[in-house]
Amino acid sequence: MAGSVQSVESRAVKWGVAVDLKRCVGCQSCTVTCKAQNATPPGIFWTRVISKEEGTYPFAYTVFMHMRCNHCSEPACVPVCPTGASHQREQDNIVLVDQDRCVGCHACVVACPYQARSIPENSRGYYGDHTTPFEEASFKKWQAGTAQKCTLCVDRIDRGLQPACIETCPTRALMIGDLNDPKSEIATLIAKRPRFQPRAELGTDPNVFYLT
C-alpha cells in the first residue's frame, strides 16, 4: 500500500532502502522534507543529494546520489560508543542515538564511514536568539553537543508509515521494505536489478542499495 509499510510481528524485520539512480532527478524533495519533518538545527542535513557526472561528451550525463545513514547491519558507530547511546533496535536494524546518554565524544562521528552523523554545537535557531514558534516547539528534542542522525523516521515506521523522504519522492526513486522477506517488493527489485551497497568492502553491511 502506498504511503505505508507492512507491520510484521511474527519475525525479525530488516528494513532496507533502495535508491533507483535511473529515477532520481536531483529535485532535493527528500532533503527538504527530511529537514522539515525532523526539524534539524541550522546546517544539519540528515538526507542530501549530490551529483556526479558520468560518460564523456557528447554522451555525458548526470547521476544524482541520495545520501543518508545506511542503518548498517554491522554499524561501525555502535561498538565505539562508550556510553551505549548509539544502539541498534532489537526488533529491527534501525540505528538510533539516545541523546540522554550521549556525551558528545565524537567517536561515532569519526567511526561512521558515510559522514552521516553530526554534533551541533548549540541549539540556536536560524535567527539566533530570536527563535520562531516552530523552532521553539521542534528544537526541544535536540540537545546541543550530542550526536544526531537519520532515524529512518522511526516514529512513522512504528505507526506503519513510510519515512517522510520516501513518501514525498515524486519519481518513486526511493523505496523501503523488509529485506528479510524474499517476497517483498524491495527484495524482488534488488534481486532483479544491478545494484551496489556504499563502501560494502568495509564490512558494515549497509542496508541502502543503489540500483543502477
Residue 6, C-alpha cell as written in the block: 507492512
Residue 73, in any domain of the structure: yes
Q: Is the pLDDT of residue 136 over 90?
A: no
CA distance 41 to 34: 12
* Number of domains within the chain: 1
Residue 154, in any domain of the structure: yes
How many residues in total does the chain contain? 212
Interval 109-131 mean pLDDT:
84
> Phi and psi at residue 69, in whole multiples of 5°?
-65, 140
User: For residue 59, with 0-12 CB atoms within 10 Å meaning exposed, 13-18 middle and 19 or more buried, which class applies?
Assistant: exposed
Q: What is the CATH number of the domain that holds 150?
A: 3.30.70.20
CA distance 14 to 70: 12
**Mean pLDDT score across all residues of the chain:** 90
Q: What pLDDT is attached to residue 170? A: 96
Q: What pLDDT is attached to residue 21? A: 94
Q: How confident is the model at residue 11 (pLDDT cuts 50, 70, 90)?
A: low
∠ Cα 158 73 36 (to 5°):
45
Residue 82, in any domain of the structure: yes
Percent of the chain with pLDDT over 90: 74
Residue 117, in any domain of the structure: yes
- Mapped to the 3 state alphabet, what secondary structure does 48-98 carry? EEEEEEECCCCCCEEEEEEECCCCCCCCCCCCCCCCCCEEECCCCCCEEEC
Report whether 93 contacts 73 (CB < 8 A): yes
The pTM (predicted TM-score) of the whole model is 0.86
3-state helix, strand, coil in the chain (%, to 5): 20, 20, 60
Q: What pLDDT is attached to residue 142? A: 79
**CA separation, residue 92 to residues 15, 29, 73, 158 (Å):** 7, 27, 10, 11
19-69 pLDDT per residue, tens: 999 999 999 999 999 999 998 888 889 999 999 898 998 999 999 999 999
Rg (the chain; Cα; Å): 18
79-112 pLDDT per residue, tens: 999 999 999 998 899 999 999 999 999 999 999 9
Q: What pLDDT is attached to residue 41? A: 83
* Domain enclosing residue 104, as ranges: 15-211
